[in-house]
Structure formats: C-alpha cells, structure tokens
Amino acid sequence: MEEPKVPRHVAIIMDGNGRWAQRRNLTRAEGHRAGMAALRRVVEACDKLGIEVLTVYGFSTENWKRPRSEVTVLMDLLLEWIRKERDELIQRNIQVRVIGGPGRLPPRTRQELDELVSATSGNTGHVLCLALNYGGRRDITEAARRLGERVRRGAMDPADIDESAVAGELMTAGLPDPDLLIRPSGEMRVSNFLLWQMAYAELWFTPVLWPDFGAEQLEEAIRVYQSRDRRYGGLREEEP
C-alpha cells in the first residue's frame, strides 16, 4: 500500500500574533516575538517531515497601512530574526528565498536579508521562502507587465503567452505551486497571498493563533491534506 504523500510545498499565513498578545495583556510587539518562535518550530518540523518548500506570509503590501510604530517593530523583529536564525539555517542546509518587494524594507534589514539569501543560496535542503512586502495581485500584474514588454520589443509573440509563460514570470518561478495553504487564527480568507499559485492548493484553517502553532498543528494539517482527494478538476479512475 502506498504511503500517504507529504505535500511538497506548504504555504502559511502567519496570523493571530496581536490577538494572542491581547489575551495575555501583552504588547503586540511581544505577540510578534512569540510568532518568531512559532516560525522556528515550524521550520524545524518541515525539515523533519521532508517538506521541500515552506512559504510564509511575513508582511503584505497592505500591512504598510498599520500604525508606523507597529511597522517599525515588525522591521526590527525581522532584523532580529535574521541575526538569530542565520547560523541555524545554514547548519540545517536550508535555502532562504524572498518574494515581494524587499527594496522597501529599511536599508540595514534589506542588507542583512540579502546577505542571508546569498549565504544560503548553495544549500540543498528545503527552501524557506519569505513573502515580505508581497501581494498576489501585484505579483500577477508585474508578470503581465514583463510579458507585455517582451511582446513590445518583438521578443515574444502574444500567441505564445500561456500559463507556463505567466508562471515563469511570477516571483515563485522555479518553485512548485503550494499543495497546502494553512491559515491559523480562525480567519478564512487568503488575503492576497499567492493568488495564481494556489489555484489547486488544499486549504486548511484552524482557530489556533500563530504563536501557539507548532509541529502538532502542522502534522494535523498534513493528515487532513492526505485524506483529501485531489482531482484537479478531473474524476477518480473508478468514476465513469
């Protein structure tokens, strides 16, 4: 009997840090710091489970609307996370990739993020993909713009623009599409995350807040994923 398959690519919307802190009479900054600990647990669990790619929604294009003080805290915590996890990521042979618009991040954070990506670029273990200043609609829009520019230059015929061509221009080019999307905190929406790439992803929502998320919840999500019948619009072999 064939063993249940582990998803190749898991995507997670890390949600619920603020509510976790509020319930404990803590600051939102403390909630976000607890979320960093959850990310470490999940990265370790993915490594052990053999998941090839983990993409986490760290900061969206819409998150700039938050109070300046909270954005500053998030940027400071990102820098803290890079410095704290760098050696562990290298030791675990994890390759770090970034999608989104990291150019808008504070210069020091951007520099150390670039250095982390460079330092792990030769790693051959699983991929940790950080979505920072990322928006799914912008991802698709920029891909369309690049394809349009190639057509304008005469380097491409419009008739050659197919799904493969679009996928090749997305920020996740070279990575498999997500098999499983996880959203903690009880919210049931995708929030402009990997809109093209998640066309056939299985969705799993849990009321557990992100700072409380760990290997147990990840394994539960994978068990649910393995119980589902992924037909991609077709039928099972036994169906007429």
Reply yes or no on whether the pLDDT at 37 is more than 80: yes
**Would you state the structure tokens that stand for residue 215, as one six-digit string?**
């290997």
140-197: pLDDT as tens digits: 999 999 999 999 999 999 999 999 999 999 999 999 999 999 999 999 999 999 999 9
User: Average model confidence (pLDDT) for the chain?
Assistant: 94
Q: Structure tokens of 220?
A: 């539960």
pLDDT value for 33:
96
Distance CA 179, CA 127 (A): 15
**Taking Cα atoms as reference points, which of 73, 6, 85, 71 lies closest to residue 39?**
85
The ranges assigned to domains in the chain are 9-134+179-225
Instruction: Assess contact for 35 and 184: CB atoms under 8 A.
Output: no
Q: Name the residues annotated as catalytic.
A: 15, 63
Give me the pLDDT at residue 236, please: 64
CA–CA gap between residue 124 and residue 181 (Å, rounded): 23
Position 229 scores a pLDDT of 84
CATH 3.40.1190.10 fits 9-134+179-225, yes or no: no
Amino acid at 12: I
Share of the chain above pLDDT 70, in %: 94
The identity of residue 91, as a single letter, is Q
Q: What is the mean pLDDT of residues 34-54?
A: 97
In the block, tokens 């909630």 appear at 31
Tens digit of each residue's pLDDT (9 = 90 or more) over 85-132 = 999 999 999 999 999 998 899 999 999 999 999 999 999 999 999 999
The position carrying tokens 């959850």 is 38
